[in-house]
Amino acid sequence: MQGTEPAAADDLGLPVLLPAEIRRVVSLVPSLTEAVAVTAPGLVAGVTDWCTHPAGLQAERVGGTKNPDVARIVALSPDLVLANEEENREADLSALRAVGIPVWVTRVRSLPEALASLHRMLTLACRLSRPGWLDVAAAAWEQMPEAPQERTAVVPIWRRPWMVLGRDTFAGDLLGRLGVANLYAGHRDRYPRIGLAELQGAGADLVVLPDEPYRFSETDGPESFPGVPAALVSGRHLTWYGPSLAEAPAVLGRQLRQAPGSPD
């Protein structure tokens, strides 16, 4: 490995001893993969099976976010591995650190945190210049029209068992900026398991159904909430932090307005 420079701290405050030049990156988070690949095509050497953007991405597949092939990652000799505190397992990250591979972990709970985290990851960890798309993304949210009258929603992210957005989540923060209040934002858990009967009786006037991590659709999800308008939304625009943030206000805003009973 190349000569190193003084350690920088990732989003968790952990020191990361980075090489002077970053030539090969393995990303274990789909949104971070897109962020790096759009900014510096060719820098990403390894990605997870769930990394679908940008289109035409060419990189070694190293398994899932929760079960990456650590040996395969090591064999790629990356200068840096990118991870996230809730997407990836600490055991896998520790195994990579143990063989001397720098690991940069992000922590994102809100839009401001996402923008700041992406800037630090790209400029400090990856040694890249701040990309123009990051400024476009920040401007898209700053210039967003005032949100319409607020609606209260339950936001399932899984079924069998049912799980919803709880407190302190990035997706919940985005929805709040779009005029949708998460009914379970005060729950003690970030992704609580709530029985369907309780969800149905919670008093929400909207159910927001993203197409990831669970792929809710017109025929899978809305039928569980009879009488409650359903908004089917893009999970990538709701939960990814990267280039998709630039178009997320328009995409999500349109999808929320398409729900029955939405204000014009």
Q: What is the pTM of this model?
A: 0.92
Give the whole-angstrom CA distance, residue 130 versus residue 133.
9
* Predicted pLDDT at 260: 80
pLDDT band at 6 (very low <50, low <70, confident <90, very high): low
Tokens representing 79 are 């200068």
Nearest to 80 by CA among 11, 40, 27: 27
Domains assigned to the chain: 8-130 (3.40.50.1980), 147-257 (3.40.50.1980)
- Reported as a single tens digit per residue, the pLDDT across 114-152 is 999 999 999 999 999 999 999 999 999 999 877 767 899
pLDDT of the residue at 132: 97
pLDDT of residue 3: 53
Residue type (1 letter), 17: L
Asked whether the predicted pLDDT for residue 261 surpasses 70, the reply is: no
Average pLDDT over residues 163-188: 96
- Residue 89: CB atoms within 10 A of its CB come to 14
pLDDT single digits (tens) 46-97: 999 999 999 989 999 999 999 999 999 999 999 999 999 999 999 999 999 9
b/e map 53-87, b = 16+ CB within 10 Å: beeebebeebbebeebbbeebbebebbbbbbbeeb
